[in-house]
Amino acid sequence: MTHLTVYHEDDPGLPELATGDPVVLVGHLAMTGILFERWSATHPVSQDADSAAILSAYAPDVERLCANRGYRSVDVARVVSGSDNIGTLRAMFLDEHTHGEDEARFFVEGSGAFYLHLDQRVFRIVCEAGDLLSIPGGTRHWFDMGPTPHFTAIRFFTHPDGWRAVPTGSGIAARFPGYDGSIDRTR
Which residue ranges are tagged as binding site for Ni(2+)? 97, 99, 103, 141
Binding residues, by number, are 97, 99, 103, 141
Minimum CB separation of residue 127 from Fe ion in Å reads: 13
Position among 101, 103, 131, 144 found at the interface with Fe ion (CB under 5 A): 103
Residue 65 near residue 104, CB atoms below 8 Å: yes
124 phi, psi to nearest 5 deg: -100, 120
Stretch touching Fe ion by CB under 5 A, among 55-63, 69-77, 101-109, 120-128 = 101-109
Q: Which residues does 37 contact at the CB level (< 8 Å), separation at least 6? A: 61, 131, 132
Between CA 183 and CA 45 the distance in angstroms is 23
| Helix, coil or strand: residue 165 | coil
Residue 41's CB is within 10 A of a number of other CB atoms, namely 16
Interface residues for Fe ion in 17-56 (CB under 5 A)?
none
Q: How far is the CB of 166 from Fe ion (least distance, A)?
A: 9
- The residue range among 12-20, 50-58, 76-84, 99-107 that interacts with Fe ion, by the rule CB under 5 A, is 99-107
Q: Which residue is nearest to Fe ion (CB)?
A: 103
Q: How far is the CB of 12 from Fe ion (least distance, A)?
A: 20
**What Rg, from alpha-carbon coordinates, does the chain have?**
16
Residues in contact with Fe ion by the rule CB under 5 A: 103
